[in-house]
């Protein structure tokens, strides 16, 4: 039986999603829970391989399982075996050709900036504290040029395994929420550090237009810290 698991997690204690020997990762925590819940599991895939410290509200995993509870009892069974920082919020049986990564049509990320002049212990490792004044109009103007098909080479590390740097952005906007400024972006897929470097460049007041033509990484701005980034949701054609 192939399952689609929707999971959320606080990325603070983890060294990212992917398994790394001897280090705490979200994937290893989930694999341990699956092994304790089902007789077997294999072909685990994830929609978003988040980095160290990055959070998720709605990452998606596909996995083949045998010899365990039915889907309607899977969330409860897995959550009793997961650390407090990880939760399975939904489990569904899906067709055998469903793949969490390859079947995804789009992914939405949020980057959260905390703008209060004084720090907050509740925002530590949950947002990027930027107490200096930020030109919101300039942020919004920068985000407005992102929708469409662009070469994002300037927004990913120079040393990379990526061979194709073109991505299609569906929407990008800044939203003021109380003491926060949230950058929300939806795209077909992302390069490593792409969202964080876009944010760092916009906060530095840079004009993104010339950078979207495949400029060198050195021409873009700094990479914002990971703890302000959240994978919000993953969209699939079959959900429409």
| Catalytic residue positions, numbered | 51
Six token digits for residue 58: 């709605």
Cβ 82 vs Cβ 7: under 8 Å: no
Angle at 59 between CA 54 and CA 65, to 5 degrees: 125
Please tell me the total number of residues recorded for the chain in this structure: 240
The bridge status of strand 55-66 relative to strand 40-46 is: antiparallel
| Cα–Cα dist 172/185, whole Å | 4
H/E element holding 203? Answer: helix 194-203
Six token digits for residue 178: 């109380």
| Cα–Cα dist 64/43, whole Å | 6
- Residue among 182, 86, 99, 198 at smallest CA distance from 150: 198
| Cα–Cα dist 96/146, whole Å | 35
């Amino acid at each position: 039986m192939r399952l689609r698991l929707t999971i959320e997690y606080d990325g603070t204690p983890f060294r990212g999603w992917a398994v790394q020997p001897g280090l705490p990762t979200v994937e290893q925590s989930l694999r341990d829970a699956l092994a304790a819940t089902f007789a077997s599991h294999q072909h685990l895939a994830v929609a978003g391989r988040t980095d160290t410290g990055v959070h998720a509200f709605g990452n998606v995993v596909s996995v083949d399982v045998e010899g365990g509870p039915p889907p309607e009892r899977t969330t409860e069974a897995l959550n009793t075996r997961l650390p407090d920082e990880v939760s399975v919020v939904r489990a569904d049986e899906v067709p055998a050709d469903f793949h969490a990564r390859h079947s995804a049509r789009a992914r939405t990320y949020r980057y959260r900036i905390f703008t209060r002049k004084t720090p907050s212990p509740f925002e530590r490792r949950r947002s990027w504290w930027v107490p200096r004044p930020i030109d919101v109009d300039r942020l919004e103007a920068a985000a407005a040029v992102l929708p469409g098909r662009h070469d994002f080479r300037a927004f990913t590390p120079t040393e990379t395994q990526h061979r194709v740097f073109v991505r299609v952005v569906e929407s990008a906007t800044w939203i003021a929420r109380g003491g926060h400024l949230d950058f929300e972006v939806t795209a077909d897929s992302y390069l490593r550090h792409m969202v964080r470097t876009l944010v760092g460049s916009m906060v530095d007041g840079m004009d993104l237009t010339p950078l979207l033509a495949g400029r060198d990484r050195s021409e873009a701005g700094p990479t914002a810290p990971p703890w302000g980034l959240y994978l919000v949701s993953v969209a699939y054609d079959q959900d429409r």
